[in-house]
Chain A
Amino acid sequence: MKSQVRAGAILLTGLLSGSGYGLTLTLPQQQQQQNQQNNSGQQQGQQGQQGQPGQQNPNQQQGNQPNNGDKPTPLFGGSIGLKTSRQTKDSATLGFNGVDPNGQVQKSFLTAAVTPVDTVSAQKVAQTTVAPADLVQFLQDGGLNPDAAPQKP
């Protein structure tokens, strides 16, 4: 009798511990673990974005190095068919910085951290608006359509 009850109790415990209840109870723990993993991944990502203290941002590096690229060609000049906007006087130009000889963006530029200057520049772009009066004048001068399309819902 006792052994039967004990066997039943063991059977029930075993079933319960392997059942969905157990699984349901561990779900938040799994989520917590996942969150922790995600957080550590994000932290790693952040570290990657920020770069190591000893490493220099390739953009900054380029800015500090003298530009020894192709010889500047005047705008709309040359006989290659493709014109360049580079000016001999315009030392600020970045030419082909950030691209490899095949024209592909270099990985180091894609993974480099965004600097506060870049963030400010993006904010500046976000604030760029066209004054309605200027646009009206521009459209008139160009003989362009003054009417805008109706707004989509």
Chain B
Amino acid sequence: MNMKLTKILLTLLATTLFAQASSAQLGSVLKNAQKAKTVADNNKPWTPEQELAIGQASAAKLISVFHLYDNPDMTKYVNLVGNTVARQSGRSVAYHFAILDTEVVTAVSLPGGYIFITKGALANLKNEAELAGVLAHEVAHVDHRHLEREIRAQKNADFAKTEAASHVPVGSELVNMAGSVVTRALTLKVSRDKESEADKFGVELSSKAGYDPSGLRNFLQFLTSVPTTPQTTKALGLWGSTHPPLADRISSLNSQLPNYPNNGQKLAERYAWYVNPPAFSHDAAPTTAATSAPTAGAGELDGIVSQGVIVLTGGKLAEGTRVKVRPQQ
């Protein structure tokens, strides 16, 4: 009897120990599976809905820091240039470009195709090719989801703060997320790899769009020539702290530029027409109704079609200027 009971107890004990071990294992497996799902969710690119929601909330956050520069004509111009390069990226994102009301020289891209350039940057660009170069670089960041990838990587590193990645964030979750997106964009240095990738793809976009591909390189070169004063330190401090050294980028761009045609448009006149001293004044923004923006190339030609041939009757254009003819109304 005693033997029988001992046997039963031993069997029960063995079964329990086995169950305990299996259960502990199961718990561990479940925990790991949950962890793996979180990692997998965070590694998934944001859906268009998530990107849009996070992008717009981040845009509001960035605007709260620097405020929007409300100049419809200049904003429209920046959007035209931005869309000219963005349509060469091929990613189906509706890009939105805007101007920030600050003397700080920088440009910022946010998820969802929100790209901001500052008034300080616009005041120091020389031509449309330089503007296109800067905007194309930002488009490249959006195209390659650079900021989004950094946010997702950060979430993987910190499980305690992980929000469910598989839904569109709302309310306080969205506010917190937008806060970390903008804080990251304005305070942390973009990795050398991502910056190099954006420079390379940006040059490609500018060139494909028909611009002089050296626009970004020329602007960076200008920034290296700026003397250090309290005012320039204020204006360029953000650029310096969030980007890799200028010399490295210029050197890398110099090695890439020979791969692209060098007959792209610079459009200095058109740039000066839209972005000029009166244009920065709210009261005296240029209106397209008053006159039209200059077309490509310096100067103009007059002519008349006679027996299928255009006979030039006057005017002068710079050597090498590309010409397209539209009948005068």
**Interfacial residues, chain A to chain B (CB-CB below 8 A):** 1, 4-5, 8, 11-12, 15-16, 18-21, 23-24, 27, 42-43, 45-46, 49, 59, 70, 74-76, 80-87, 89-90, 92-105, 109-115, 118-119, 121-126, 128-130, 134-135, 138-145, 148-152
Which B residues lie within 8 Å of A113 (CB)?
A: 64
Chain B, range 2-16, C-beta contacts under 8 Å to A: 2, 5-6, 9, 12-13, 16
Top-4 shortest CB links A-B: A103-B237, A20-B23, A143-B296, A122-B60
Verify A130–B79 contact, CB threshold 8 A: yes
Verify B60–A103 contact, CB threshold 8 A: no
Verify B234–A101 contact, CB threshold 8 A: yes
Chain B, range 57-106, C-beta contacts under 8 Å to A: 57, 59-61, 63-68, 75-76, 79-80, 83-84, 87-92, 94, 96-98, 101-105
Verify B175–A49 contact, CB threshold 8 A: yes
The closest CB in chain B to the CB of A45 belongs to B176
Q: Is the interface of B mostly helix, strand, loop or mixed?
A: helix
Which A residues lie within 8 Å of B221 (CB)?
A: none
Verify B265–A142 contact, CB threshold 8 A: yes
Verify A80–B208 contact, CB threshold 8 A: no
Verify B241–A103 contact, CB threshold 8 A: yes
Verify B182–A96 contact, CB threshold 8 A: no
Does B200 interact with chain A (Cβ within 8 Å)? no
Q: Mark B97-121, 1 if CB is under 8 A from A, else 0.
A: 1100111110000000010000110
Does B301 interact with chain A (Cβ within 8 Å)? no
Interface size class of B (residues with CB under 8 A): 35 or more
Verify A145–B208 contact, CB threshold 8 A: yes
From the candidates B30, B94, B277, name the one contacting A75 in the complex (CB within 8 A).
B277
Contacts A59-B67, A76-B277; A135 near B84 (Cβ below 8 A): yes
Assembled-state Cα–Cα distance A109/B66 (Å): 9
Verify B20–A20 contact, CB threshold 8 A: yes
The closest CB in chain B to the CB of A5 belongs to B5
Verify A135–B83 contact, CB threshold 8 A: yes
From the candidates A8, A110, A149, A151, name the one contacting B182 in the complex (CB within 8 A).
A110
The closest CB in chain B to the CB of A119 belongs to B60
Verify A98–B172 contact, CB threshold 8 A: no
Verify B20–A110 contact, CB threshold 8 A: no
Contacts A144-B210, A144-B211, A152-B92; A138 near B172 (Cβ below 8 A): no
Verify B61–A74 contact, CB threshold 8 A: no
The closest CB in chain A to the CB of B118 belongs to A85
Which B residues lie within 8 Å of A141 (CB)?
A: 270, 293, 295-296
Assembled-state Cα–Cα distance A84/B67 (Å): 17
Assembled-state Cα–Cα distance A87/B280 (Å): 7
Does B245 interact with chain A (Cβ within 8 Å)? no
Verify A46–B172 contact, CB threshold 8 A: yes
Assembled-state Cα–Cα distance A118/B172 (Å): 16
Q: Return 21 A-B CB contacts under 8 Å, by A number.
A: A4-B5, A8-B9, A20-B25, A21-B19, A42-B176, A75-B276, A80-B226, A80-B227, A89-B281, A90-B282, A99-B104, A110-B179, A121-B68, A122-B60, A125-B98, A141-B293, A142-B270, A142-B295, A143-B210, A151-B90, A151-B92
Which A residues lie within 8 Å of B227 (CB)?
A: 80-81
From the candidates A4, A85, A114, name the one contacting B61 in the complex (CB within 8 A).
A114
Verify A46–B267 contact, CB threshold 8 A: no
Assembled-state Cα–Cα distance A139/B30 (Å): 57
Verify A143–B265 contact, CB threshold 8 A: yes
From the candidates A11, A84, A123, A143, name the one contacting B123 in the complex (CB within 8 A).
A84
Chain B, range 131-184, C-beta contacts under 8 Å to A: 172-173, 175-176, 178-179, 182-183
Does B240 interact with chain A (Cβ within 8 Å)? yes
Does B124 interact with chain A (Cβ within 8 Å)? yes
Assembled-state Cα–Cα distance A140/B9 (Å): 91
Verify A82–B175 contact, CB threshold 8 A: no
Which A residues lie within 8 Å of B236 (CB)?
A: 82, 103
The closest CB in chain B to the CB of A128 belongs to B96
Verify B186–A143 contact, CB threshold 8 A: no
Verify B102–A95 contact, CB threshold 8 A: yes
The closest CB in chain B to the CB of A57 belongs to B64
Q: A114-B63, A118-B60 are in contact. List 11 more A-B contacts (CB 8 A).
A: A4-B2, A20-B27, A49-B172, A81-B232, A83-B124, A96-B102, A103-B233, A103-B241, A123-B56, A135-B80, A148-B88
